[in-house]
Amino acid sequence: MKTLLELSNVGMAFDTPKGTFEALREVNLKIAPGEFVSLIGHSGCGKSTVLNIVAGLLQATDGGVILDRHEVNEPGPERAVVFQNHSLLPWLTAFENVELAVKQVFRKSKSKQEMRDWVAHNLELVHMAHAMHKKPEEISGGMKQRVGIARALAMQPQVLLMDEPFGALDALTRAHLQDSLMDIHRQLGTTVIMITHDVDEAVLLSDRIVMMTNGPAATIGEILPVELPRPRDRLALADHPTYNRCRQRVLQFLYEKQRKVAPLPRRDTTPVRRQA
């Protein structure tokens, strides 16, 4: 397998008022160009920490990340991030929000008109052409996420990093955005790492699902290849044996192997003797 991105022996220890907290230990992962990888694990296990290290927003305290033969030490446009909350600038329109990112990356290589066309093209890609001159407060949550994705894609990143991008959306909007993301991934062949808590979302979208153990010292517990043909259709997959097997495997990992909640104490069924 050709490797675009490699995490080797990544460890992360945070200094806290109570001492050092080891969040991650020996995280090893190789990702191929064009691969769609989901990170799944219980809340607080360290998914965002992994993503932030790849984004260059955090520096690993052990090991490191190599992207296309270069070590990652700081944020860069070749690794665009989409967060759960859109993070658009409220005083700019959708078009201007995307344009701002495009100018940062392409100021020297594209003319003004080329940059404007590129912004419009990316907004069309996420089906936002009709509302490109509206401000964030004038559009829905799902539309804001679409603009955030357009902004990230417009930077032509080598890797798209998504931290629960659809977590705050209702089920129907979420389904539409998942379908759009699958289309975009098919058209552009972008490499994607996405954090999700949603098992169905992970199976539907991913080539591989990376399952993380609970912290402290969290690491990769299992990696599941999702061998379903693309393009994928959510309705057709509902009865697909591979889909159901993958779903089952992730659920087993999360709720049997990595139980988060301690089992309830067994009820004592011994009758209580009344004292005379």
> Which positions lie near ligand ATP, rule CB under 6 A?
14, 16, 21, 23, 41, 43-49, 215
Minimum gap (Å) between residue 166 Cβ and ligand ATP: 14
Amino acid identity at 220: I
Minimum gap (Å) between residue 194 Cβ and ligand ATP: 12
CA atoms within 13 A on the CB side of 261: 4
For ligand ATP, the closer CB: 34 or 64: 64
Minimum gap (Å) between residue 262 Cβ and ligand ATP: 17
Distance CA 161, CA 194 (A): 6
Minimum gap (Å) between residue 251 Cβ and ligand ATP: 17
For ligand ATP, the closer CB: 139 or 160: 160
Q: Can you give the chain as a three-state secondary structure string?
A: CCCCEEEEEEEEEEEECCEEEEEEEEEEEEECCCCEEEEECCCCCCHHHHHHHHHCCCCCCEEEEEECCEECCCCCCCEEEECCCCCCCCCCCHHHHHHHHHHHHHCCCCCHHHHHHHHHHHHHHCCCHHHCCCCHHHCCHHHHHHHHHHHHHHCCCCEEEEECCCCCCCHHHHHHHHHHHHHHHHHHCCEEEEECCCHHHHHHHCCEEEEECCCCCECEEEEEECCCCCCCCHHHHCCCHHHHHHHHHHHHHHHHHCCCCCCCCCCCCCCCCCCC
Note whether 147 and 128 are within 8 A (CB): yes
Minimum gap (Å) between residue 52 Cβ and ligand ATP: 7
Minimum gap (Å) between residue 223 Cβ and ligand ATP: 17
Note whether 210 and 39 are within 8 A (CB): yes
For ligand ATP, the closer CB: 54 or 237: 54
Minimum gap (Å) between residue 140 Cβ and ligand ATP: 24
For ligand ATP, the closer CB: 48 or 206: 48
Minimum gap (Å) between residue 151 Cβ and ligand ATP: 22
Closest C-alpha among 182, 247, 168, 166 to residue 211: 247
For ligand ATP, the closer CB: 20 or 244: 20
